[in-house]
DNA sequence: ACCTGAACACCGTTCAAGT
DNA sequence: ACCTGAACACCGTTCAAGT
């Protein structure tokens, strides 16, 4: 049924992606400027580096999907044989871990995300949530990795799965007067809210435009037994992800507020 | 870092799994009893079937993880060459789709899940939620597939991603007096709540027992800059997944109640 | 110091051939 | 009708060898 679609993507991947190449070159030039500061051979081949490989991997996943990412194809993309990559990454698995880490850290360079509350904890959490959402939406193919890679510890919950972000989160709430248990409870609620929404949003983006999508305009026989689905099709097809996100975020903030004040009473 | 762990699992998979074999045999005998009804050759080799393959695939993923599942190894598990599988499944991708479908339909055989409300919609949704949770927890390695396989349509949201379950959901709420938009909004809220919680719970189960897990008992130098994480470690390490789930479910039901009554006022 | 050729053990998948 | 042998094009990964 859906096999044909799936079988396709693992095969040929013509690597015509000028923008990718440019981005890499740019990134490396930046790095050199900082480190070597002025004596790089002018027209020499840009050398490989871990960062360059990871960036290329993210770009490749964004363009061709995760299953399309192959050490050999990634090598070709970088103008190099696959074996060369192993100087910088231990294995494909290691590369995928690095991709997740880089994605999560991308928020640090997001100007709208602040690292400690300036206008109250609600604003703080709102910026954090929107920052993660921006990442998810700009890397819809790669984002699911953030959820599916095994975490380093059970309490390092996706999508805020780095020590640094957990620290930022807890420190922020602490500074805003949250008690210890309340901060942790808020962290838990926040992560599961974010993960559910963003994964769903991202999965909707990648949904097959299959036979079920024609469902609205006619009485498709395959929908025969599903009267309610058919009747509600117009509503189901509407995309409310943005407002849904805002509403759920509001609700979450209310819950967090409850958590906060409840703790004040009891402990 | 975590590369060694990841690299390991793709290699050797000694197939000593008597329980698996037994389950398959049993399943097939059942099927034969219904279809052929009495004239199967007594000690003949159980023939392959799509169901048997899918069941075996689920069992294999549960035991060895998703990346360990290989057409060739699955064949061996079933006492057959890999090529034989292609009589029943179009491709590995097709098999994974079938695994997801089977998992989702497993709820149908769950006695505690009812297919239309008997004691109000809250009870109905509660049973549904717990049913999905039971599946997730009993197949922690396979469950993420439910979220990551591309959906057939954007509005078929994981983890309730079958026409039948969406119909059941909508019909149930409709019967309980929900308006059209309210039922759809409830479906959206319900799925994202479920997905977030279950994915997080399942991912915690599979978390590496790595160096970060020792974090509590000593002042690990790697935690130096993370004062709050270190201080809150005792709280972070506590596992509250069950109560967390119940609380979030309660909250969701409250929200759904709001959605329901709001619609009554406006439309 | 950085990259590659050649090789190994594995993959998914096809198809003509066996029983 | 059902399964397999042989083959193909692809993988990840290692390591000795090239520059």
pLDDT at A117 over 50: yes
Are B155 and A237 within 8 A, CB to CB? yes
Superfamily classification of domain A19-89 = Homeodomain-like (1.10.10.60)
Distance CA A84, CA A102 (A): 21
pLDDT band at B266 (very low <50, low <70, confident <90, very high): low
Positions of chain D reached by protein Cβ under 7 A:
2-6, 10-15
pLDDT tens digits, residue range B37-66?
Answer: 333 344 346 789 999 999 999 999 999 999
- What are B144's two structure tokens? 């993420």
Mean pLDDT, residues A143-151 = 94
Kindly report each contact of residues B258-261 with a partner whose C-beta sits within 8 Å and lies 24 or more positions away, as own/partner. B259/B182, B259/B185, B259/B186, B259/B189, B260/B177, B260/B178, B260/B179, B260/B182, B260/B186
pLDDT at A265 over 90: no
pLDDT of residue B2: 36
- Spatial CA neighbour of A157 closest among A201, A129, A195, A121: A195
pLDDT of residue A95: 98
Counting residues of chain A whose pLDDT is more than 90, the rounded percentage is 72
pLDDT band at A31 (very low <50, low <70, confident <90, very high): very low
Mean pLDDT, residues A130-135 = 97
Residues of A in contact with B224 (CB under 8 A): none
pTM, entire model: 0.84
For residue B159, say if its preceding peptide bond is cis, omega within 30 degrees of 0: yes
pLDDT of residue B214: 58
Q: Round and report the angstrom distance from CA (B71) to C1' (D1).
A: 22
Closest nucleotide to B46 by C1' from CA: D2
SS3 B4: helix
pLDDT at A9 over 90: no
Residues of A in contact with B65 (CB under 8 A): none
pLDDT at B185 over 80: yes
Mean pLDDT, residues A101-118 = 93
Instruction: Verify if strand C has an atom below 7 Å from the CB of A84.
Output: yes
Q: Round and report the angstrom distance from CA (B62) to C1' (C11).
A: 21
Are A153 and B208 within 8 A, CB to CB? yes
Distance CA A58, CA B21 (A): 41
Are B172 and B121 in contact, with CB atoms under 8 Å apart?
yes
pLDDT tens digits, residue range A201-244?
Answer: 999 998 766 555 555 555 567 788 999 999 999 999 999 999 99
Residues in Cβ contact with B184 at an 8 Å cutoff, skipping those fewer than 6 apart? A232, A235, A236, B170
Mean pLDDT of chain A: 83
Are A106 and A131 in contact, with CB atoms under 8 Å apart?
no
- What are A178's two structure tokens? 């949250």
Would you kindly state where each structural domain of chain B is located, as residue ranges? Answer: 19-89, 114-266
Instruction: Verify if strand C has an atom below 7 Å from the CB of B12.
Output: yes
Distance CA B151, CA B147 (A): 9
pLDDT at A190 over 80: yes
Residue A234 burial by Cβ neighbours in a 10 Å radius (0-12, 13-18, 19+): exposed
pLDDT of residue B22: 35
| Cβ pairs bridging A and B (under 8 Å) | 226
pLDDT tens digits, residue range A38-80?
Answer: 333 433 467 899 999 999 999 999 999 999 999 999 999 999 9
Counting residues of chain A whose pLDDT is more than 70, the rounded percentage is 76
Distance CA B36, CA B33 (A): 6
Mean pLDDT of chain B: 83
pLDDT of residue A262: 85
- What are B29's two structure tokens? 């005998």
SS3 A234: helix
Residues of A in contact with B2 (CB under 8 A): 93-94, 97, 150, 152
Residues of A in contact with B187 (CB under 8 A): 236
What is the DSSP secondary-structure string of B34-88?
A: HHT-S---TTSPPPP-HHHHHHHHHHHHHHH-GGG--HHHHHHHTTS-GGGGGGT
Mean pLDDT, residues B146-171 = 95
Mean pLDDT, residues B196-219 = 75
Q: Cα angle at A98 between A165 and A89, to 5 degrees?
A: 150
pLDDT band at A25 (very low <50, low <70, confident <90, very high): very low
| Whole-number Cα distances in Å, A203 to A15, A138, A199, B144, B150 | 25, 13, 6, 12, 7
Are B3 and A97 within 8 A, CB to CB? yes
Range ranked top by mean pLDDT from A71-85, B27-41, B250-264 = A71-85
pLDDT at B224 over 80: yes
Is the torsion defined by CA of A70, A71, A73, A77 positive or negative?
positive
Distance CA A185, CA B50 (A): 45
Are B239 and A155 in contact, with CB atoms under 8 Å apart?
no
Are A155 and B210 in contact, with CB atoms under 8 Å apart?
no
Q: Cα angle at B161 between B74 and A7, to 5 degrees?
A: 45
CATH code for the part of the protein at B114-266: 1.10.357.10
Are B228 and A164 within 8 A, CB to CB? no
Are A3 and B195 within 8 A, CB to CB? no
pLDDT band at B220 (very low <50, low <70, confident <90, very high): low
Pick from A32-41, A91-100, B114-123: least confident: A32-41
What is the DSSP secondary-structure string of A128-181?
A: HHHHHHHHHHH-TTTHHHHHHSPPSSTTS-TTS-SHHHHHHHHHHHHHTT--HH
């Amino acid at each position: 049924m859906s096999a044909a679609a799936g079988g396709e993507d693992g095969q040929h991947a013509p690597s015509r992606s000028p923008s990718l190449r440019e981005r890499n070159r740019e990134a490396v030039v930046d790095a050199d400027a900082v480190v070597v500061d002025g004596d790089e051979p002018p027209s020499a081949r840009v050398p490989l580096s871990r960062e360059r490989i990871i960036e290329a991997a993210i770009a490749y996943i964004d363009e061709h999907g995760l299953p399309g990412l192959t050490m050999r194809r990634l090598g070709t993309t970088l103008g190099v044989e696959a074996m060369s990559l192993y100087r910088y990454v231990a294995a494909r698995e290691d590369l995928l871990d690095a991709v997740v880490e880089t994605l999560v850290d991308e928020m640090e360079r997001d100007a709208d995300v602040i690292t400690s509350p300036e206008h109250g904890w609600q604003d703080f959490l709102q910026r954090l949530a929107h920052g993660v959402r921006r990442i998810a939406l700009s890397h819809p193919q790669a984002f699911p990795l953030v959820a599916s890679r095994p975490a380093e510890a059970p309490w390092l919950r996706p999508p805020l799965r780095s020590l640094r972000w957990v620290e930022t989160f807890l420190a922020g709430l602490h500074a805003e007067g949250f008690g210890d248990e309340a901060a942790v409870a808020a962290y838990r609620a926040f992560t599961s809210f974010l993960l559910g929404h963003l994964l769903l949003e991202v999965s909707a983006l990648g949904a097959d435009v299959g036979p079920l999508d024609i469902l609205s305009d006619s009485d498709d026989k395959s929908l025969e037994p599903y009267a309610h689905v058919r009747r509600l099709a117009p509503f189901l097809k509407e995309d409310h992800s943005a407002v849904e996100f805002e509403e759920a975020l509001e609700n979450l903030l209310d819950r967090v507020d409850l958590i906060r004040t409840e703790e004040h009473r009891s402990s």
